[in-house]
Amino acid sequence: MEHTTPTKEPFRPNTPQGLGQDASHVRKVARVAEQLGKRRSTAPLSRQKRGVSHQVPKVRDKKHSDEKVNLLDFDQVIEIDVERRICIAEPGVPFCKLVDQTLPLGLVPIVVPELKTITIGGAVAGCSIESMSFQHGGFHDTCLEYEIITASGDVLTCTPDNEHSLIFQMMHGSFGTVGILSRLVFRLVPAKPYVHLRHEKHTSIDSYLESIWSHYERRDVEFMDGIIHSNTQLSLCVGEFVDSAPYTNRYDWLKVYYQSTAKRHEDYFKTPHYFFRYDQGVTNVHPKSFLGRLLLGKFLGSTEILKLAEKLRWWVLNDDRPDVTVDTFLPFSKLKEFLLWYAEDFDHFPLWCVPYRRVHDYEWLTDSFWKGMDDELMIDIAIYGMKQRGETNYYRLMEKKLQELNGIKTLISYNYYPEDEFWQIFNRPNFEAVKAITDPNNIFRNLYEKTCQAAMGQ
Ligand SMILES: Cc1cc2nc3c(=O)[nH]c(=O)nc-3n(C[C@H](O)[C@H](O)[C@H](O)COP(=O)(O)OP(=O)(O)OC[C@H]3O[C@@H](n4cnc5c(N)ncnc54)[C@H](O)[C@@H]3O)c2cc1C
């Protein structure tokens, strides 16, 4: 798509969609815009938000000592337009709260990431996905408009089609480096009170891939993800919304969802319990033992675990030899080769597998990346909590292999890319074009500095 050069515009309290703005939201935006407008320092600035961050916590992350911009109160749903199936909300709204508000109206966000307190702002800036992604891509792909506060306090309304279209697209996967997302407009879909899921069992990678492709092509299911317990025990979990259920299960205390995918053939959930079925840790559940879950499981969801890890990071984490937690995105055609290599070199199972449709060639990746990509379907393979062995840096090993297979990893965890290699994957000219408008003094850091240097304490 062609992008016009973005220009500055004053803060307008109405959107081109004709959707209203809430007065208290306007006041919050004016407060932040004023703080930024008056700021003279060019030292790095980080966001202060209410919920926990779902970035892999790092001991020496510079964000802890940065000056903060206060976004604590940007956590309200502003409007749900049932007829147009559109929601307007602030970036700090967690998905569990959003689902609580939309589901009674028979609607849900199109992509609901599987952890309760991932926020809609974090989902855009950090590339969240889930089991409807095989149809719709990521949460960003369901968004219609962003309001963005620039480093100098200008407020921009960005849509895929207006003069700020490049800023709109580059906000996705920006990890906060482009500007402050202050309001989002996104689509909703009809939902029902229950979800019926079937766990297909496969004993070979080939039959697993055939089934993923067949569901993808036929669109005969509404949800599709899977757990790869090993390369000879692969579960594909497919399902749809239903009006009623003969029974329901939930996996937020004693029972562990990923284990159920190996044992059960089908399952029923209340819709919110389906969305957040992985909240105790996708494949890295805490507490690990049944007794531990019996005593503490009710109080230790992903939010509490991440909060504790962040607070106690100096004692419980090791930046020099961190466990591997990473999402990798691979072209569908390369998945078999990847899994065979992975079993040899990593051999850490189970893996979470999420098919992801290529709905848009993201502007934050380089043209050369897209030139090497013929697939219309990507697969997210997520590894959680693998202990590194010997001297090998498994993060770096993965970075190199992904480049060979034309895959990428998300930047939520430890990143070891040399700078020139990084910018062969991530689109520096597009970042620079947008930053020239939204953050010319680089107070939000650039993508490499933030995710590969500052996060690692450099
Ligand atoms: C253990 C673990 C499990 C995970 N499991 C899943 C999963 O099941 N499904 C899934 O989709 N994803 C998962 N993720 C990834 C997650 O979706 C992303 O890390 C996401 O960015 C987290 O959003 P958050 O609301 O916690 O935002 P944060 O972690 O607070 O922020 C994420 C990034 O977005 C930026 N950002 C946040 N808000 C704004 C804003 N208002 N304006 C500008 N920039 C902003 C921040 O600066 C930061 O760089 C997981 C991550 C971890 C660590």
**Domains, in order of start, for the chain:** 23-191+435-456 (3.30.465.10)
Span from the CA of 265 to the centroid of ligand 1 (angstroms): 32
Beta-strand (E) ranges in 86-179? Answer: 86-89, 107-109, 143-149, 155-158
Residue 56 Cα: closest atom of ligand 1: 53
Ligand 1 pocket: which of 36, 49, 55 to mutate (most atoms <8 Å of CB)? 55
| Cross-strand partners of 266 | 198
For 37-65, what is the mean pLDDT?
A: 88
User: Tens of pLDDT along 284-324?
Assistant: 998 888 888 888 888 888 888 888 888 887 777 788 889 99
Closest CA to 145 of 79, 92, 102, 88: 88
Tell me the average pLDDT of the chain.
93
C-alpha neighbours within 13 Å on the C-beta side of residue 72: 2
d(CA 208, CA 228): 10
pLDDT tier, 9 (very low <50, low <70, confident <90, very high otherwise) = very low
Give me the pLDDT at residue 21, please. 66
Q: Are 356 and 380 in contact (CB under 8 A)?
A: yes
| Cross-strand partners of 326 | 383
pLDDT above 50: residue 13: no
What residues does ligand 1 touch, defined as CB less than 6 Å away?
A: 47, 49, 53-56, 91, 113-115, 118-119, 121-123, 125-126, 128-130, 175-176, 180-181, 278, 282, 325, 412
pTM of the model: 0.93
d(CA 111, CA 222): 11
User: Tens of pLDDT along 53-66?
Assistant: 998 888 888 888 89
